[in-house]
Amino acid sequence: MNYFRPAVLSAVVLLAAQPALAEDKGVWSGEIEAGVAIKTGNTKSTDAQVKLRAGFSQEFWSHRLRLEALRQTESGDKTAESYLGQFQSNYTFSEHDYVFGVARGERDKFSGYDYQTSFALGYGRHLWVSELGTFDVEIGPGVRRSKLDTGEKETEVIGRLFADLKVNISSNAKFGQEVTVLTGSDNTEIESITALTTGLTDALALRLSFTVKHNTSVPADTKKTDTHTSASVVYQF
């Protein structure tokens, strides 16, 4: 898939750039999420979705992988289909500060874009870390390549802003809010994910989430904003 090549190549470069740390084998963690989603905007339907988030920490380095797929078929006709892949590497140089590189690729056939890929480098900071939760922010420049449904291709320099808030409501309930902004001269992408997760066991949880995706520039007859409301089961490892 040509639209994922920049993201894949960037991820390989990031992995190859890190030093070999033989004594520290690192720690894996992650979650697999599956459920149904109610979508409004360019499509109005009930969709099945699968999400994977995995992380690996080793000495000063940490890596995060995010994969998502959403699809629906009604009476043999495909009415919703989207895929997202993201890989990020962080290098921590102080207790609260780190630098990062992140590659992202997305395809949503009902967004007005055939694909959108981006790569960014920048600075991140842990603004708040306590037993009650965490709050991280990131900022940096990057480049984005997009292809509209009309066939028009765009390549532009962008700025990336990211904020991630996690709050421990109780011993088994957590609130999360992520906001990603990729802004350029041709288009600004905004993604907001709000989630409430309740633990059932050490490994299983229920999650309610609300996702908003907005593009400021889309082809004619295409809505700028899509929303996803979902209820899902989460397996944590």
What ranges do the domains of the chain cover? 2-17+29-236
The token pair at 124 is 């991140």
**Among residues 170, 162, 173, 164, which one has the least CA distance to residue 208?**
173
Q: Which of 81, 75, 158 is nearest to 119 (CA)?
A: 158
pLDDT at res. 186: 94
Average pLDDT over every residue of 171-176: 97
Q: To 5 degrees, how large is the angle CA 171–CA 133–CA 210?
A: 85
pLDDT for the residue 232: 96
Averaged over 142-157, what is the pLDDT?
95
Selection from 98, 64, 71 nearest residue 178 by Cα: 64
Mean pLDDT for the chain?
A: 89
Are the C-beta atoms of 111 and 218 separated by less than 8 Å?
Answer: yes
Q: pLDDT value at position 73? A: 72
Q: What is the pLDDT of residues 65-115, one digit of tens each?
A: 999 999 877 766 777 789 999 999 999 999 999 999 999 999 998 889 999
pLDDT tier, 20 (very low <50, low <70, confident <90, very high otherwise): very low
* Nearest alpha carbon to residue 11 among 120, 84, 123, 87: 87
Give 170's pLDDT tier (boundaries 50, 70, 90).
Answer: very high
Q: Report yes or no: 171 and 160 within 8 Å, Cβ to Cβ.
A: no
| Whether residue 158 has pLDDT greater than 90 | yes
The candidate with the shortest Cα–Cα distance to 102, out of 123, 128, 82, 83, is 123
User: What pLDDT does 71 receive?
Assistant: 86
What pLDDT is stored for residue 23 in this prediction?
54
SS3 state at 175:
strand
The fold of the 2-17+29-236 domain, in CATH, is: Porin (2.40.160)
- pLDDT of 1 > 80? The answer is no
